[in-house]
Structure 1
Amino acid sequence: MKILLLNGSPRINGNTGTALNQIIKGIQFNVQEAQIELFNVADLELRGCTNCDSCRKNDGNCVMTDDSFKIVQKIVDADMIILGTPVYYWGISSQLKTVIDKLYSKENQLRQQKKKFGVIAIGEASLDDLEYKLIGSQFECICNYFGWSLIFNKSICAFEAGDLTEDKIQLQELESLSVYINRENGF
């Protein structure tokens, strides 16, 4: 099983990175035969989709000279995608949104794949805040559209870099998300 984790935070070693690394720790311990790859989206050079539709005439490849092909191909090749994002004004980071928009280039191929999907949203607001529901609903819609399975949608309250490293309960919950991954694989 190929598992791709995307860190959508420009603060690579912040709370989102901590959360994703904790999930990786759980996967390494609990999931048999997993190939794990973590990408920091902020390290990629990405330009927004201009809806030129050139990808529709170019075998599903974006014609922009950026890292779009590289990251979209990683998503195509993965069996499971786990996204981590800080909450920015009731939504995901612009870096991660650009990656999501670029999926348009391989939409037909992606709709034929039965992927597993997980989302981690980390914000300053309390967990009952609407921002987490908005992000979760967005990814429920995306998964429904592609025909993918949303296996977890986890919200975390943490703001300052390092806040999450001090929250042992949240860290344990993140590590235990590997149970959902095992369940989806029949283990």
Structure 2
Amino acid sequence: MTDIIITQTAPVLVAIDISKARDEVLIAIADKKRCRRLTVLNQLDDFNRLITSLACYGRPVRVAFEATGNYHRALAYHLAAAGFELKLVSSVALARTREALHNSWDKNDPKDAQVILHMMEIGNEQFYHDPLVRGTNDIQELSKTHDIVSKSKTELWHRVVAPSFNPLSAAVFS
């Protein structure tokens, strides 16, 4: 009789807490109890070092992170180019889960990486679409420009109207 052995390779889970200068990385492998912790500077050589160390596992890699301003975009681009699966964690869900797990609102980067890893394990993650790769970067930049222009226009309107606004005259005309 033929023995059929189906090996299922569980992905390497990588949780990244993004910040301006450096990123806290937590790597979990299915058959190991301890997680590996790395600090990656927002520099190309550190991105390449991270990609090389993740590729050495010989398993599929799933990376999750919380989008922070635009600081996540460079690292996400390089990780996607390396062929890793990227996931996004909601900022609100991360904050609520952190409060529930640690019974505190206290925030620090290694703790956030642990919470992101927990959220990956329970499947509480979203799809990440890189606007540069998907070709929606121009639309996103136009949207941001429109938002800034609209806010500036409203601010200017309030500056012009507010000094001449008299609550008594407003009551008369209403």
When normalised by structure 2's length, the TM-score is: 0.36
Q: Bigger radius of gyration, 1 or 2?
A: 2
When normalised by structure 1's length, the TM-score is: 0.35
**Which has the bigger relative contact order, CA under 8 A and spacing at least 6?**
1
